[in-house]
Amino acid sequence: MENITGTRIKSLRKELHLTQEGLGNILHVTKQSVSKWELGTNIPEPPILKQLANMCNCSTDYLLGTTDVRNYTDKVFSEPSKLNKDDNTELNKKDEKDIEKATEKFLEGLEGGAMLNGEILDDEDFELFKQAVKNGLTYAKISNKKKYTPKKYRKNDD
């Protein structure tokens, strides 16, 4: 069985130029704990996993091997304005207000808070979730504008 978590922890530790003991000191665990993670015999507890992910600028999902996207903020949650940089579709102020309203309306439906794997999202994760919803709505708006705007009204359409 492949040890993705251990391999990624070891790789990230080496990127930080740390020994197992050095990483253990930072995370307040023993060198043996780090060794067991890297060998795949143990997995870090959630609070330590989150601390390690923050330290390495990656997600816990990346560390656990559930995604190959190392840094969501770079790959997934870019500014919505960058979503349409390669095409001629631009959002106007009304579109941006509509997206904000739709995002807020969607999030209002989550009165008890959003949950992932049975745990309520903390503020940082909720903000990432909110940005994902907003980016999804932005992408849909841009796609619909491209699809439903008559050619005679499109800017620079070849």
Q: Are 81 and 73 in contact (CB under 8 A)?
A: no
Q: What is the pLDDT of residue 72?
A: 55
The pLDDT of 28-40, averaged and rounded, is 95
For residues 78 and 61, give the distance between their C-alpha atoms in angstroms, rounded to a whole number: 18
Q: What is the pLDDT of residue 7?
A: 94
In terms of pLDDT, which residue wins out, 90 or 63? 63
In terms of pLDDT, which residue wins out, 119 or 73? 119
Phi/psi at 119 (5° precision): -120, 140
CB-based contacts of 65, cutoff 8 Å, min separation 6: 4, 5, 8
Q: What is the pLDDT of residue 10?
A: 95
pLDDT per residue as tens digits for the range 48-81: 999 998 888 888 888 998 888 777 554 444 444 4
In terms of pLDDT, which residue wins out, 119 or 7? 7
Q: Which two tokens stand for residue 155?
A: 């800017």
For residues 127 and 110, give the distance between their C-alpha atoms in angstroms, rounded to a whole number: 13
Phi/psi at 115 (5° precision): -120, 150
Q: What is the pLDDT of residue 69?
A: 79
Q: What is the pLDDT of residue 54?
A: 86
Q: Helix, strand or coil for residue 103?
A: helix
Q: Are 137 and 102 in contact (CB under 8 A)?
A: yes
